[in-house]
Structure 1
Amino acid sequence: MDITQKIAILAGRIKEQMDHVVNEEATKNAMVMPFIQTLGYDVFDPTEVMPEFTADVGLKKGEKVDYAIKNGGELSILVECKPRTTDLANTQFSQLYRYFNCTEAKFAILTNGIEYRFYSDLDDANRLDKRPFFTFRLIDYNERDIEELKKFAKPVFNVDTILSTANRLKYTNLAKTAFAELVKDPSRDFIKSLAQNFYDGRMTQQVIDDFTPIVREAMAQHIKEQVSQRLKSALANTSGEESERVIIESGDPEKTQLSAEEDSDIVTTQEEVDAYNIVRAILAGVVDPNRIHMRDAKSYCAILLDNNNRKPVCRLHFNSKSIWRIGLFIEGKEQKHDITALTEIFSHREALIKTATDYLE
């Protein structure tokens, strides 16, 4: 089982256990230690993962950092843990800062068990940066995040490899955050600069105010259209032919038919793709993930075994803006369940596995 599958399983378990994790020790035991294990480190081997790592730092004697991870016998990563409910954005990490400055470790992690902030000394040698160069959110991540996380896995860990891309990654993430804020709340200067490209009149405050909701909506529509087009292309390449991607609602999975004509009205969302990847991760223990396919339709998105419409694993009913549903197939009949977050799909793990194994048998 690779890191992608291990992280997906861990994310599902933590989602179920989250309300029971009420202090720092519980956060360490239920969340942080399993996370370190997914990276390939033996948390029960003190020569590899040292809990309560102690080093005398200046006048601060006997201070401890929660974990120190060694790779190849060399101290590589320091980990400071906070309780699950801690907002890391407003957290001081002075211990981590002091320890990093006086050890040979090149990376430090600040975490509350759900969010993992990775730091190094990109701005000033041997001094921990104030901003992380990479942030991994265990219950809200994408494939690119997983690829970055894999660089910290024990079998492939290489300081030079990580640092070679860390600076670019840091500023790329900061730019993404700034862009997201711009899309959400475009500044007056941005609105003015953009509107001057197509509005010939005088740029008064009233004009800028009038254009603000228009520009915001135009940006959102453009992003949605770009994502939709890329998803369509990716799905078409996966299935071999665009005409084999779409399912027409029939009610009976054995009578479902394919159609290319309906494709222009279908938009595959990022949420559907993320849900598809979660289902693949859940089933990875019983079936090759490459045998799990997705076909989108107007009324639902189907996830199938062997790309066979007679073997539906589940259906994603995400078209409604007010509620999401996942359709599970119990003894050949679809049963719909409401979900409010994609991670709730993990709570239907047993039903999904049973459906898939029934087809295999």
Structure 2
Amino acid sequence: MEIAERAQALALKIRKHKAAIETEEATKNAFVMPFISMVLGYDVFNPAEVIPEFTADVGTKKGEKIDYAIAHNGQVQVLVEAKKVNDPLRIEHASQLFRYFAVTNARIAILTNGEVYQFYTDLDAPNRMDAKPFLVLDFADIDDTLLPELAKLTKESFDLDSVISAAGELKYIGQIKRVLAAQFKEPEDDWVRFLTTRVYDGSFTQKVRDQFIPLVAKATQQFLNEQVNDRLKNALGGPGAYVSVSSDRPEVERAVEEAVVVESDVETTEEELEGFRIVRAIVCGEVASARVVARDAKTYFGVLLDDNNRKPIARLWFNRSKKYLGVFDEQKVETRVPLECVEDIYAHAEVLRRTVNRYLTMRGGAVQAGPVRADAGLVASP
């Protein structure tokens, strides 16, 4: 099981049980220990790997404890301090981490409430823990771009030097992304002033500020929507193509759900539905969208023309650690293409459109989908 799959499993556990957790000790048992064992791969019951209630005398401070110390190759490498889930994390919570960081070999410190994990190191001064984390992992909304860095702290792939070398860039990229997200959601005065003074020639008075706050918020939202639509236009293959990105479209969601045929004992995931929407958006320039139907099976999620299993458009192989898109050639031989994320389906828009056009020009019967093969640059069935 890859780290992304392990992280998603823990995220599901947190969502399911978070409301029932009321103490710090329950948080450690329910979420923090599974993070150390399930995600990072250390044996929480082996004191040579995970030391609970880790003690190290710090100056006049004797017998102070930190929740967990993680050892690798006999050396303490990571310190973990846990707080109760739902409690906001503040730097004041990390006082023991600061003290222990200076007297142990650990180069990584983690402050967590079981759902949000803040990772610290000593970028600003040697052997002194930074005041700001270089990586923040939120299991309520996992940023997949951070998982390769997290993997470097796992037992099987531990690479401290690589983590430290990437920490500086991660620290500032993460902070910039969080600042941008906050500004897009609720713009601050400095952000409003920065943009307003570039389009408005008058003085930036309180009246002008009040006028431009909603304009800045609206402009940034429209900018994001237009970026998404530009990508969809390219995928659909025409400058006139347009797809609304509004999330408040229940009639569209119902249409998608009605177009999905599910076998018994099969659970259709939101990720599979997202993939189906993308495939259908790509091919709707060739055929009426109502003719593109999905059929979910136990091993893959199929997209068919006219609900006919002799006319497969694509298969979504998402029920595994690595995602694949199955595409078909003239003989209906399936080739599985690896995907890093669902949006990568757009890169294969042309082959999907060609597949649909072949069915539209076919006469007579058709044979079933053939075997799976691997071409140059493509990955066969795992």
Q: Which residue of 2 aligns with 1:95?
A: 96
Provide the aligned length of Structure 1 versus Structure 2. 274
**Deviation of 1:202 (Å):** 5.4
C-alpha distance in 1 between matches for 2:35 and 2:181:
28
Kept in 2: contact 1:80–1:96 (CA 8 A)? yes
C-alpha distance in 2 between matches for 1:35 and 1:15:
14
1:221 aligns with 2:222: yes
Secondary structure in 1 aligned to 2:105?
A: coil
Q: Where do 5+ consecutive residues of structure 2 fail to align? A: 248-266, 282-288, 317-382
Q: Which residue of 1 aligns with 2:19?
A: 19
Q: Which residue of 2 aligns with 1:161?
A: 162
Indicate the structure whose relative CO is greater, using CA pairs within 8 Å and at least 6 residues apart: 1
**Structure 1's 302 and 176: CA in aligned 2 closer, same or farther, altered over 3 A?**
farther
For residue 308 of structure 1, the aligned residue among 303, 306, 309 is: 303
Q: Which residue of 2 aligns with 1:294?
A: 275
**Amino acid aligned to 1:6:** R
1:265 aligns with 2:263: no
C-alpha distance in 1 between matches for 2:272 and 2:178:
36
Secondary structure in 2 aligned to 1:110?
A: strand
C-alpha distance in 2 between matches for 1:66 and 1:227:
44
**Deviation of 1:262 (Å):** 10
Kept in 2: contact 1:228–1:268 (CA 8 A)? no
**Amino acid aligned to 1:295:** F
**Deviation of 1:15 (Å):** 1.4
**Structure 1's 115 and 204: CA in aligned 2 closer, same or farther, altered over 3 A?**
closer
1:33-72 pair list within 5 angstroms: 33-37=33-37, 38-72=39-73
**Deviation of 1:291 (Å):** 9.3
**Deviation of 1:78 (Å):** 0.5
TM-score (structure 2 length as normaliser):
0.63
C-alpha distance in 1 between matches for 2:233 and 2:214:
28
RMSD: 3.6
**Deviation of 1:87 (Å):** 1.5
C-alpha distance in 1 between matches for 2:275 and 2:70:
39
**Deviation of 1:25 (Å):** 1.6
C-alpha distance in 1 between matches for 2:17 and 2:188:
41
Q: Which residue of 2 aligns with 1:137?
A: 138
Kept in 2: contact 1:24–1:82 (CA 8 A)? yes
**Structure 1's 127 and 189: CA in aligned 2 closer, same or farther, altered over 3 A?**
closer
C-alpha distance in 2 between matches for 1:46 and 1:225:
54
1:173-188 pair list within 5 angstroms: 173-188=174-189
C-alpha distance in 2 between matches for 1:143 and 1:231:
22
Kept in 1: contact 2:91–2:131 (CA 8 A)? no
Q: Where do 5+ consecutive residues of structure 1 fail to align? A: 237-241, 244-259, 270-285, 315-361
Kept in 2: contact 1:294–1:303 (CA 8 A)? no
1:83 aligns with 2:84: yes
Kept in 1: contact 2:11–2:139 (CA 8 A)? yes
- Deviations along 1:123-175, one digit per CA (max 9) or x if unpaired, are 11111111111111112112113233222212222111011110111111222
**Deviation of 1:179 (Å):** 2.2
**Structure 1's 24 and 190: CA in aligned 2 closer, same or farther, altered over 3 A?**
closer
By percentage of residues, which structure has more helix?
1
TM-score (structure 1 length as normaliser):
0.66
1:186-205 pair list within 5 angstroms: 186-201=187-202, 203-205=204-206
**Amino acid aligned to 2:47:** P
Identity of aligned residues (%): 42
Kept in 2: contact 1:114–1:137 (CA 8 A)? yes
**Deviation of 1:183 (Å):** 2.5
**Amino acid aligned to 1:308:** V
C-alpha distance in 1 between matches for 2:232 and 2:148:
19
C-alpha distance in 1 between matches for 2:6 and 2:167:
24
**Amino acid aligned to 1:159:** L
